Amino acid sequence: MAAKTDKLLSILKLQPVVPVLIVDDVASAVPLARALVAGGLKAIEITMRTPAALDAIRAVADEVEGAVPGAGTILNPAHFDAAVKAGSQFIVSPGTTRSLLDAARGSDVALLPGAATASEVMTLREEGYDVLKFFPAEQAGGAAYLKSLSSPLAGTLFCPTGGISLKNAKDYLSLPNVVCVGGSWVAPKELVEKGDWAGITKLAAEAAALK
């Protein structure tokens, strides 16, 4: 478990913001990922919310130099296995189930499991997880709530995701228990549909410069 945690941390520490992508058209996956990598965002979470997701992960893994593709919105073991086979180097879930933890235990690919309450965090810590996704961040109490967990749950690190933007990202990144944040603002749908890859690279560079 320690080795997988170290591997996950090495990915999450590549950049302050992990792009959270919903890819509708697999044809956009490679140029989108290249634009993000060019802006300094190498770790990329492609969510399993569309039929194109697995093909998008596969294309990014095969064709985008420097990219570290991961899969998000993983809800069950079938999702987990399919995402790993497609080339995901890390797995992200919005919450956690026993069957998902069992699937993760049998894989070399690290899981970033979601938690929103102190009890959920404590349960995952008992399973050996001390790097977690805090989701949905803004709706679950925001940076102030996460800060309040830092002392009683010391030693746990979070990647907050949900409602985070360029405006409030620093509120989270300034916390001692936050390793990075997840956000979709670096790849807005309108820029993807227009193929404005230069615009996305600019947004990625702004995000990569956050401290």
Active site residues: 45, 133
Asked if 47 and 184 touch (Cβ cutoff 8 Å), the reply is no
**First vs last Cα of the chain: how many Å apart?**
28
Q: Which residue in this structure is represented by tokens 């956000």?
A: 183
Asked if 187 and 21 touch (Cβ cutoff 8 Å), the reply is yes
Asked if 25 and 53 touch (Cβ cutoff 8 Å), the reply is no
Rg, Å, the chain Cα set: 16
Of 64, 36, 29, 65, nearest in space to 50 by CA = 29
Helices (H), 13-141: 29-38, 53-63, 77-86, 98-105, 118-126
* Strand partners of residue 20: 45
178-194 burial, b if ≥16 CB within 10 A, otherwise e? bbbbbbbbbbeeebbee
Both tokens of 25, joined, read: 């058209």
* 157, burial (CB in 10 Å: exposed 0-12, middle 13-18, buried 19+): buried
